Structure 1
């Protein structure tokens, strides 16, 4: 019984804890401002991208820059990260 209780407690803790490696691309409501379409397939031109980038709070820009520097995170968002890194990750 004690073993079952320990397993249930460990499962509850693991499900309740937010992972530190959460995808920051899904957490930001501002992400659609970088795309021209609702499906988020076509990036805005660099001038408009840059304007949207600097309109974001600094904390969000830092988070996105870190994510774009991680190959595993940036691969699904290659076009977005290419523009972020082209800006030099400017904060």
Structure 2
């Protein structure tokens, strides 16, 4: 019985942790303004991206830069993060 409880606790913790790992770079509503299409495959021009960046709150900018500076979080968004860092003056 104890092993079943331990397993269920571990499963619940992993589910909760899995949702905690999703960050701002995984939120379509935050990322969509940087792309030209609904599938978010084609990024906007540098000038357009800079305008979107400038309109974002400082809190969201900081969260995006934090994730872009984290190798694990930024890996699936490498191209976006490289462009964002250059536009934000961090490259």
TM-score w.r.t. length of structure 2: 0.74
Assess if the C-alpha contact under 8 Å between 2:24 and 2:30 holds in 1.
no
* Equivalence for 2:16: 16
| Structure 1: distance between partners of 2:82 and 2:16 | 34
| Equivalences, count | 89
TM-score w.r.t. length of structure 1: 0.74
* Equivalence for 1:31: 31
Please state which structure has a larger fraction of its residues in helix.
2
Consecutive unaligned residues in structure 1, runs of 5 or more: none
Assess if the C-alpha contact under 8 Å between 1:28 and 1:60 holds in 2.
no
* Equivalence for 1:78: 78
1:39-78 alignment, distance < 5 Å? 39-78=39-78
Moved more, 70-79 or 54-63: 70-79
